[in-house]
Amino acid sequence: MSDKTALVTGATGLLGRQVVRAFEREKWNVKGTGYSRADGSSILKVDLVNADQVEATLDNVKPQVVVHCAANRFPDKCDKDPEGTRALNVEATRRLASSCASRGILLIYISTDYVFPGRPGEAPYEADAKPEPTNLYGQTKLDGERVVQEEYLGAGKAGLGIVLRVPVLYGDAEVPSESAVNVLMDTVWKAQEPGVKIKMDHWALRYPTNTEDVGRVCHDIAVKYLGSDNPSKLPSILQFSSESKYTKYEICQFFGDIMGLSIAAIEPNTEGNDPNASVQRPYDCHLSTKALQDIGIDVAAQDFTGWWRWNLRAFRK
């Protein structure tokens, strides 16, 4: 058996499953935590809001690295449950960071491009650019970043509390609604129904990034930081993103094209944010990957169109 152990929170989710696989591929022992979908063996049932359960899990599993994927990550759902969102995205993160820091465990906290305001002309954002979230989801993830850094600094373990920001994710989904990208395939199918009219955002620029790539990057970060004599000399905020740029409407166009389906019923909406909407979305939060490149981590990302053609077996010319 390997002597290297990783613990992945949110291991039953869209990203968590691929992070687990990435470490397993490299022959690590991997345990995951889940809640509603935990099986009790490879996926331990842990309520991350319960400090005692978290401490017991860390002492039982004894990981060298924890990858913290669990979050309330849908902006509209965050707005409907601000207290629950803060409890998971901030308070549970603080307790997890405190428990990991006191044990000298490397923590990789998954954050988001939505920590940035995404105003036209500002992107790409470097890892040290000033965050300024435009919605509650982005704010709670930024607060989570800060509590991770505070806890590790306070424990004298700066260099072991790492933030990894990623953009909108896609990949193998159990249900399309797990991903803001995959779910657009449902939209394209819905647009085939008679009399349907759908408005789709054709304003905000997104950089859909594959969960398998993020999993690999998490593994490579763990190896780099655990292998360093002085991880505090390495950057504590990292960013990973693909360079594929699409609006949601353009993704629908692409799906329609490879599936041979008309998207005539989907109307492009170029108006940007409705000033009355509770969730204000950024225009362009493209993340620079320079900090990762500077420490020698491969930032290659899968081609969006190629992955989907392969995934849907849609090799139409």
Indicate which residues carry an active-site annotation.
137
What's the CA angle centered on 120, arms 163 and 204, to 5 degrees? 75
Longest CA span, the chain = 64
Residues 6+ apart with CB under 8 A from 1: 29
Judged by DSSP in three states, 93 sits in helix
**Angstrom distance (rounded) from CA 207 to CA 285:** 9
Three-class HEC string of 45-75 = ECCCCCHHHHHHHHHHHCCCEEEECCCCCCH
Element (H, E) at 201: strand 198-201
Q: Exposed/middle/buried for 274, CB within 10 Å: 0-12, 13-18, 19+?
A: exposed
Place of tokens 């395939």: 185
Q: What single-letter amino acid sits at 247?
A: T
**Angstrom distance (rounded) from CA 129 to CA 264:** 40
Torsion of CA 68, 225, 287, 128, to 10 degrees: 110
Q: What does residue 239 show for φ and ψ, rounded to 5 degrees?
A: -140, 140
Count of helices and strands (H, E) across the chain: 11, 11
